[in-house]
Amino acid sequence: MRRRRTTALLSFALAATMAAGGFAYGAAPLPATGGDAVTAAPGTAAVTTATVTLVTGDKVTVATRAGKTVAVDVLPYRSDAAGLRTYTVGTDVYVIPREAEALIRAGQVDKRLFNVTQLVAQGYDDAHRAATPLIVRYTGESAATPGGARLTRKLPGVRGAAVAADKSKGDAFWEAVDDDSARAGTPRARLSGGIQRLWLDGRVDTLLDKSVPQIGAPEAWAGGYDGTGVKVAVLDTGIDTTHPDLADRIADSRSFVPGETVRDGHGHGTHVASTIAGSGAASGGSYKGVAPGARLVIGKVLDDGGSGSESGIIEGMEWAARSGAKVVSMSLGGQEGADGTDPMSLAVNELTAETGVLFTIAAGNSGPRATSVGSPGAAAAALTVGAVDSADAVADFSSRGPRGDGGLKPEITAPGVRIVAARAAGTAMGTPVGDKYTTASGTSMATPHVAGAAAILAQRHPDWSPERLKAQLVSTARTTADTSVYAQGAGRVDVARALRQTVFADGTVDFGLKGWDDSAPAEKTLTYTNDGDAPVTLALSVERAGGDLPAGALTLGAASVTVPAHGTATVPVTLDSTAVTTGSYGAHVTARSADGATAAVTAVGFGRDVQRFDVTIKVLDRDGKPTKGTASVSDTRLDQGTFPDTYPVGADGTVRLRLPRGEHSFYAEIAHNSPDQSLTTEYTYAVQPGTVIESDRTFTFDGSKAGRVTMSTPLPTEASRVRIGTTARAATADMVHGRETWLSGRTAVYSVPSATTDPALFESRVAWSLAAPALSARIAGRADGALDAAYFEGWIGSARFDGTRTLRVAKPGEDVRGKVALVKRDDAVSTYDQIDAAADAGALAVLVHNDTPGPWTGSHLRTEASRIPAMTLSGAEGARLLALPAPRVTFSGTALSPYAYELMKYHAGGVPADQRYRVRTGDLAVVDSRFHASTGGTEAGYARVTRSPMQTVAYFTHARTVLPRTLTEYVTAGVRTSEAFKLGPVWSAGGASQITADQTFAPGQKVRRDWNRAVVRTALPDGLNAAAQRSGELGVVAAAGLLDSGTSRWSVNRDGATDKETTTVYRDGVALGSAPYAAVAFPVVPQSAEYRVVTDVRRDGAGWATSTGVRTDWRFRSAGAEGMTVLPVLSVDYRLGTDLTNGARAGSRTQVGLGVRHPKGLAAAPRIASVKLWASADDGTTWREVRLDRGLNGSVANPSKAGFVTLRVTATDAAGNSVDQTVTRAYQVRR
C-alpha cells in the first residue's frame, strides 16, 4: 500500500519527475554552472540519520535510505517494566513510551507525536527544531502554559493555544501534563494541568482563461455581479502586491509566518488570489479572476517554501473570520483521511458558527484513493472543493471521500487542471506563461474558483448565511455523469445558475456509515426552498453517481414536489442499507422543472460498515484467575494500514469487543510490580496470530500456561534489556505490522504458548543484551546477607564500583562521611537531589530504598553520572538494614564489562511452549572489537543490532562506553546483525556515527572489528553499494567525510558541531560549484568527460587529536549510459601498526599497509596501476617518500620526539582514474 506524508501538497507544477537507477530527481534541467549545481547527495544514494526528541523527553535517531526507515536507535531514560514500545505500520515507525499509550488510546494525545518517520519527514527533528510544536485544547476557557513549554499563539477558536515544548528541558513538559509519567504502574488516561487534548502542531502545505467561463462567471458579470462590495480572505503564501492584476484589490493583509512579510516568495498565494479577484490587466483581460470586483484580505499562513504550521493557520483563520470577509479561501491541507476532529477542522466549525463566514477549502491532492480528503477540508462546515478538467472530468489527483468517519466529502468541484493565473515576481511555481502568469494544477486551483463564485453570490444576497451560500452553490452545480459523489459531491460549480435560479435544495444528504446489523430503514428529509414569486413543480429522480446502486437502496417519498412561492417543501429520502454490501455508495437526487429552466441536485452519500462480530477475550493471570496487575489486549487489523487498537482488561479479566470481519492479530500482556517494594517486575505476554474474524469468537489467554523466558550463557551475565517482538503479515494484503516491547533487564518475563499459523505470515522473537554483572552487594558477615542492589538509572545515572569495597551504613540522622548513606525514596524530593545531598555531606556511596512497589526513574536528561555510586534497594531490604545495628555492606563491581552477549531467538508461526534457552560458545559467533581513541576517557556509544528474518526495522539503543577499550561479543549466528558506533556522548544529538552493513555470522565464526582506528580519512563506505553513481543527468559521490579504517561500513554521519566539509566539483577543468558536504550530487553530461571532485574535511573537537584535516582529490572519466552506472571513484584503505590510542612510539617504525578499491558494484573495474606513499613529521611542510612493496606495504620512520605523522597517498588505475589524498596528523607519536 502506498503511504504518504501526513501533509499533502495541494498544487502541482506541471513538470515531470523521473526515477532512474538508484535515485529519483526532478527532470527540470540542472544548471550547468554556478554554486547551486552541486548539492547534497540524495538520501536514496546514502543513508541519512536524524535525531528526534519526543515530547516525553526520550530521544530517537532514525536512519533512512531510499525514503524508508531502516533502523531506529532509541535512547530512553527510564526503567519501567514496559518502558517503551515500538510499532511498524506499513513504512511508518512509532516509538511510544508506556505512559503515553493509554492517553493515545483515550484520544487525548495525538499519536503523530510518536510517529518518528513522519516527524523527521516534517522537519521536526532536533537539527531543525529546538522545541516540539504542539496545540493544546483546554478543559475550560484557558489554562496556564505547562512547565517546560512556552506559549507561541493563543487559539481561542479551538479553546486552546499553540505551545512549544523545549527539547532541552527533557520531560519537563510531559511531567506537567501527565501526573503519572514519573512512576511505573497503571497510567491514568487523563491529562492534567487543565489540558483536555494534545496534538502535534503539524506542517501544512500548499495543496484562468478557460476556467472562468467554464463556471459561468462572464454571465454573472453581464448581470452586474462581479463580487463588488464583498471581501474574500485568502490564507496562503501571501501576495505580490506589485502585480498589475492585483493592484487596488487588497483591503487588508497580515503575515502569520514568523520573520516573513506578506510578500509572496512562493507564488502559490498570488496565483490563488488572482483566480478569485484578478483584473487580468496584464493580459488584456484574458486571465481575469472569477470575482474581479471583490476585495482581498490576505493572510500569509504558509512560508515562502509553501509550508506552515497548523497553529499559524488557525490563528490566520481567526483573524480572517473577523476581518469583515464573507468568504475565506484555503488552498492548503494536511492529515490525509481526517475525520473532522482535528484542530483545524474544529476551528472551521466553530468560527463558521460564531462569525457567519463561509470557508471554501481544498479537498487535497491525494487522489484517486478513497478516504484521502485532508484537514481542514474534512470540517463539516467547510465547503470542500475537488478539481475537474476542462471537460468536467474529475482530476486523477483530486482527493476522494468519504471522510475518515464515513462522512460525505467533497461537496463540489471546480476547474483545477492547467489553470493560468498571476505569477508572483521572482517565483517559479508552475509552468510560467511569460513574466506575469503561470500555469498550475491542483485542488488549490479549484478552490479559489468556488470562493469567487461565493463572493458573487454574496454580492447578490449579502444577508445569506454560510449554510445558505453553501447550499445554493452545491445544489445548482453541474453533475458529471457516472462519477461518484465522493469524487465530485453534487458536481462542478455553476455560478450563473446559482445567481439566476430561485429554487435551491439541500446540497447534500449524508446518511453516514450504517452498521452491518442496522437493518432499520433510515430516513432523512430533503428540503426545497423557492425564493421566487410563483410556485414551482419539480420532477424528482434518483440518479446513479458512479458504481452500482442496487434497486431499492434509496427511495423518495414522492415522484414530484411543488414548492410554493417564498416557501419550502420537503420530501423524505429513505435508505435501506441492507440492499448493499460493505462499502461507500452515493447517488444524486435531481429535481427538474418541466421546462428545464430549474434544476436542483442533491448529493446523497451513505456507506455500510463491514460486518462485525462479538469477540470476547479472557485474560487470566499465572494463577489462572483474573489478573490483579496492569493488563491490556491489542488488536491489529492485519489487512489494513492502521495503528493497533489497545484495550484495558476489565476487573473480571475480560475484554469485550465488536470487531470487523477480516484478518486480525491479538496481543495480550500483564505487568506486575513485586509486592515487597522491590524494583523487580513481571511481564507476561500472549499472542493470537493470524486470526480471521468471520463469526463471533471467544479467546482465552491463560497465564497459568505461561512459562518463564530465560537465557543462560557460559559466562556470568545479567541482562540490561530484553526485547519482545512480533511481525505479522496479512494473507490478503501487502501489509506488514511490527511490534517491539522493551523491558528492563530486571523484568521476569513469561510467555503463553500460542496457536500456530502460516510461518510465512507470523514470527515471534526475544532478544537479550547481556554483560558481566555490574554490581553485587551483601551485608558483611552474614550468610544470608545478599542484597538485590542496582545502580540508579542504569548506565547513565551512577558512578560505578570497579573492584570490591566495604562501607559502613549511615542511617538517617547519622553522620554519612566516609560511609554509604541509606535514604528512603520520597515523592516530594528528587532522587538525584537525595544523591547529591549525600555526596555533599561526604558519603562515599548512597543506597536509596523503595517506598512502594515498582521501579522509578529520575530526570530523562541527566547527562552525567552521579559523583558517588548510587544504588536502589527494595523497601524490605531497606527496612532490614535499618533494623541491623551498625551494618556494613560489601560492594563488588565491574565498571566496564570485558564481554557482552547479544542474543536473539525467533520462531516462525507462533510463540513456542518452551522459551528456556541456553547457548554454548561454539554455537555463537565471536566478535573481538577494539575501540581506538587518541585521548583517554573519550565518551562514545556502541550497539549491536540483531534482526530476525521477518523484522523490517532494526531497533537498538547505544550503550555508553569510554574509549579506548576492547570488547568481546558473543552473537547469535544465523540472524542479520550489524554494529552502530557513535563517537561522543550517547545522550547528545551530536557526535559522529557509523553503522556496518548487515551480516549473518556462522556458528563458531570469529570476527575482528576496529572502531575509530587510524587512519580516519575520506572514502566511500565499503559496505554501501553504488556509493558513486550516475543516472540520467545526475551524478553522485556519496563519500564519508571521516571514515575509520574498520571494514564493512555502510552508513557514516558527521558530527555537525565539529566537522566541516567542503566539496568542489569540476567537469573538464571548469568548476561546477561547491557544497558544504562530503557526499554530493552534481550535473553530468551524456558525452565522455573528466570529472574532478575535491573534498576538504576538518574536525576540531575536544579529545580529537588525529586526522584533523583530510584533503581528497578524485579524478575520473564518465560518459552517459542507460540506467544507473557506477562511477570509477577510488578509495584508499589503510592498515597501520598503531595501538589503541592510534599512536606509535617515538623513534620506532610504523608498518603501513595500503589498499585501493573501486566502489562496490562497479563492473569490470580497471586494475590498480600505480600507488605511492609519502610521510611528513611537520604537518606536510616537508615530505619523505615511503617505499612500498608489491603488496603495498611500507614502513614509516617515526620522529624521535612526540608529535604526529601526516600521510599522503596517490593512486591511479589502468583507465587513468586517480585519487590524491592527504591526511593531516594521520597518527600520533608518543615518547
For 307, the 3-state DSSP assignment is strand
Closest C-alpha among 525, 507, 524, 510 to residue 470: 507
What is the rounded distance in angstroms from the CA atom of residue 562 to the CA atom of residue 557? 13
What is the rounded distance in angstroms from the CA atom of residue 1142 to the CA atom of residue 1128? 30
Q: What are phi and psi of 920, to 5 degrees?
A: -115, 150
Active site residue 268: yes
What is the rounded distance in angstroms from the CA atom of residue 36 to the CA atom of residue 1071? 12
| Grid coordinates of 630 | 496492569
- Residues in Cβ contact with 1022 at an 8 Å cutoff, skipping those fewer than 6 apart: 1047, 1048, 1049, 1131, 1133, 1157, 1160
**What residue has cell string 502585480?**
243
Q: Which residues pair with 722 in a beta bridge?
A: 743, 768
Give the pairing of strands 508-514 and 599-608.
Answer: parallel
Residue of 205, 236, 304, 1096 marked catalytic:
236
What is the rounded distance in angstroms from the CA atom of residue 571 to the CA atom of residue 557? 6
Active site residue 236: yes
| Grid coordinates of 1178 | 611537520
- Residue 546 carries which side chain, given as an amino acid letter? G
Q: What are phi and psi of 577, to 5 degrees?
A: -70, -15
What is the rounded distance in angstroms from the CA atom of residue 345 to the CA atom of residue 322? 17
Closest C-alpha among 255, 214, 248, 217 to residue 234: 255
The total of other beta-carbon atoms located within 10 Å of residue 615's CB is 21
What is the rounded distance in angstroms from the CA atom of residue 648 to the CA atom of residue 668? 10
In what side-by-side order are the strands of the sheet with 583-592?
508-514, 599-608, 583-592, 536-544, 560-563
**What residue has cell string 491479538?**
666
What is the rounded distance in angstroms from the CA atom of residue 875 to the CA atom of residue 882? 11
Q: Are 722 and 695 in contact (CB under 8 A)?
A: no
- Residue 1000 carries which side chain, given as an amino acid letter? T
In this structure, the chain runs to a length of 1231
Residue of 444, 874, 978, 1176 marked catalytic:
444
DSSP of 687-752, one letter per residue? EEEEEEESS-EEEEEEGGG-EE-EEE-SS--EEEEEEEEEEEE-SSSS-EEEEEEEEETTEEEEEE
**What residue has cell string 527494595?**
874
Closest C-alpha among 291, 153, 284, 281 to residue 234: 291
Residue of 243, 266, 268, 737 marked catalytic:
268
Q: Are 598 and 538 in contact (CB under 8 A)?
A: yes
Chain centre to alpha carbon of residue 696: 37
Active site residue 988: no
**Active-site residue numbers?**
236, 268, 444
